[in-house]
C-alpha cells in the first residue's frame, strides 16, 4: 500500500497543473455566450464568438495539455524539456495509432469511394478525441519518467549534441511508437472498458454520486482525488461523441453536470465563507495576523478552484471539522 501511494501521489500532484487551466477555460466559454451581455452591453455581442472560441480551444486540446502538464509535474526539475517530450509523445501516439485502427464495417456501410474514406477518417478522429485525455495522461507519465531517467545521459562525442535533456524528446518519440501500437491494436477493448465503466457509474444514480463525492473528499488528503476527477470529468458518459461529465455539460447534455454540481458552490462560496468565519472567530489581537493568510486562501479557492490551502489548514489543525 505504501509503495502504491508513493507511485500515485506524484501523479496526483502532476495532474493539478493542467487541471488548474480549466477555470479560465470555463470562464472564457461562459463569458462568450450572448445571454450574459445582450441586455447589459449589447455592443460586445460581435466579439463573443472570439471569446467563446478561446475557451473552447482549451477544452478541444485537453489531451495535449495533460501530456505537457503531467510530464512537467513529474519531472524532478520541472524542466521544459519534459513538456516538449510530453507533446512529442502525445502527437506521435495519436497520429500513429490512428493509422493502425481498423474502421468497423457498419461505419462505412452505405458509403463508397471518397465518402467512405471520409467516414472512416472521421470515425478515427472521433475515437482519438474520445481517448485524448487518457492518452495525454499516459504520454505525460511516460515522458516525465523518461526525463527523470535520462536527462543526464552521456552519449558518444559524435552524438554529444543529442545528449542530456535533448535526448528526452527523442526517446519519448520512439517510446510513443510502442504506445501507439498498443492503442491502435486494442482501441476497441479500451473504448469498451471505458464505456462499461461509464455505464456502471451512471446506473448507480444517487448512490454513484454519493460514492464519488465521499471518495473525492477522503482522497484529498493524499492528493489522489485528481486521478478520480480525471476519470469522471473527462471520460464518463457519452453525448454525441463527447465524453466526460465536464465536456458533456459544456456540449449541452441535459444529463451532465451532476458529478460537478457539489464542487463549485463549495469552492467559490462555502470555503471562502469558512475563511470569513475563522477570521471572525480569531482573537481580536490576532485578526490582522491571520486575515491576510485567510484572504489569500479564500481568493485561491474562489478564482482557481484550488482548495487544498484552506482545507489542509483545518484538516490537520482541527480534524473534526
Radius of gyration of the chain (CA): 23
Rounded CA separation 283/279 (Å): 9
Residue 307 C-alpha cell reads as 482548495
* Residue 170: predicted pLDDT: 92
Q: 3-state SS string over the chain? A: CHHHHHHHHHHHHHHHHHHCCHHHHHHHHHHCCHHHHCCCCHHHHHHHHHHHHHHHHHHHCHHHHHHHHHHHHHCCCCCHHHHHHHHHHHHHHHHHHHHHCCCCHHHHCCCCHHHHHHHHHHHHHHHHHHCHHHHHHHHHHHHHHHHHHHCCCCCCHHHHHHCHHHHHHHHHHHHHHHHHHHHHHHHHHHHHHHHHHHHHHHHCCHHHHHHHHHHHHHHCCCCCHHHHHHHHHHHCCEECCEECHHHHHHCCCCCCCCCCCCCHHHHHHHHHHHHHHHHHHCCHHHHHHHHHHHHHHHHHHHHHCCCHHHHHHHHHHCCCC
Rounded CA separation 253/246 (Å): 10
Low-confidence ranges of the chain (pLDDT < 50): none
* Residue 303: predicted pLDDT: 78
* Residue 143: predicted pLDDT: 92
Q: What is the pTM of this model?
A: 0.72
Answer yes or no: are the C-beta atoms of 220 and 136 closer than 8 Å.
no
* Residue 1: predicted pLDDT: 52
Q: How do the domains of the chain map onto residue ranges? A: 2-200, 204-260, 265-317
Residue 60 C-alpha cell reads as 478541444
Amino acid at each position: 500500500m505504501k509503495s502504491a501511494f508513493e507511485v500515485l501521489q506524484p501523479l496526483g500532484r502532476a495532474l493539478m497543473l493542467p487541471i488548474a487551466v480549466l477555470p479560465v477555460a470555463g470562464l472564457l466559454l461562459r463569458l462568450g455566450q450572448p445571454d450574459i451581455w445582450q441586455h447589459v452591453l449589447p455592443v460586445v455581442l460581435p466579439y463573443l464568438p472570439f471569446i467563446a472560441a478561446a475557451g473552447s480551444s482549451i477544452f478541444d486540446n485537453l489531451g495535449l495539455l495533460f501530456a505537457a502538464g503531467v510530464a512537467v509535474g513529474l519531472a524532478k526539475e520541472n524542466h521544459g524539456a519534459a513538456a516538449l517530450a510530453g507533446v512529442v509523445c502525445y502527437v506521435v501516439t495519436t497520429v500513429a495509432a490512428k493509422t493502425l485502427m481498423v474502421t468497423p464495417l457498419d461505419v462505412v456501410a452505405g458509403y463508397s469511394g471518397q465518402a467512405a474514406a471520409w467516414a472512416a477518417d472521421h470515425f478515427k478522429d472521433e475515437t482519438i478525441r474520445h481517448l485524448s485525455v487518457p492518452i495525454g495522461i499516459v504520454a505525460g507519465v511516460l515522458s516525465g519518467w523518461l526525463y527523470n531517467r535520462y536527462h543526464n545521459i552521456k552519449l558518444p562525442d559524435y552524438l554529444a549534441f543529442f545528449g542530456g535533456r535533448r535526448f528526452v524528446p527523442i526517446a519519448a518519440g520512439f517510446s510513443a511508437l510502442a504506445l501507439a501500437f498498443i492503442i491502435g491494436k486494442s482501441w476497441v477493448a479500451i473504448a469498451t472498458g471505458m464505456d462499461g465503466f461509464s455505464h456502471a457509474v451512471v446506473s448507480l444514480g444517487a448512490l454513484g454520486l454519493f460514492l464519488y463525492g465521499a471518495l473525492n473528499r477522503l482522497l484529498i488528503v493524499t492528493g489522489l482525488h485528481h486521478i478520480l476527477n480525471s476519470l469522471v470529468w473527462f471520460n464518463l458518459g457519452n453525448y454525441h461523441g463527447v465524453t466526460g461529465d465536464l465536456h458533456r455539460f459544456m456540449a449541452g447534455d441535459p444529463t451532465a453536470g451532476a458529478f460537478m454540481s457539489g464542487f463549485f458552490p463549495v469552492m467559490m462560496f462555502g470555503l471562502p465563507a469558512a475563511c470569513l468565519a475563522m477570521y471572525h472567530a480569531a482573537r481580536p489581537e490576532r485578526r490582522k495576523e491571520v486575515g491576510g493568510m485567510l484572504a489569500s486562501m479564500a481568493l485561491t479557492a474562489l478564482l482557481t478552484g484550488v482548495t487544498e490551502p484552506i482545507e489542509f489548514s483545518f484538516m490537520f489543525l482541527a480534524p473534526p471539522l
